[in-house]
Amino acid sequence: MISISFLLTAFVIVLIPGTGVIYTINTGLTQKKRIMLAAAFGCTLGIIPHIVACILGLSKRKRPGQLGTLRRQSWGRSCDPCVGYDPNR
């Protein structure tokens, strides 16, 4: 069961803009439109390797004893391929 404190913390984190958003807005306010679009495109390209790692199961949340290992999570054993954590294991 997800606690109320977790939901509140997640909500606050979602509301706070990340560094890419702040950089893009700053560039848009101080530079030309073309440079702002390049900044937005570059920040978006920076997310793609993380999305691919998540899809492949490489971004599995580690347990304390598994910090030094990295292995691909099999699709059938994970309840969510991005999190890779199955509480029933």
CA distance 76 to 72: 12
pLDDT by residue, tens only, the chain of 89 residues: 788 998 899 898 888 888 888 999 999 999 999 999 999 999 889 888 888 888 887 866 666 555 554 454 444 444 444 555 555 55
d(CA 72, CA 52): 12
pTM, two decimal places: 0.49
- 43, 20 Cβ separation under 8 angstroms: yes
- Please report, for the chain, the start and end positions of each structural domain, with discontinuous segments joined by +: 15-77
CB-CB contact of 89 with 77 (8 Å): yes
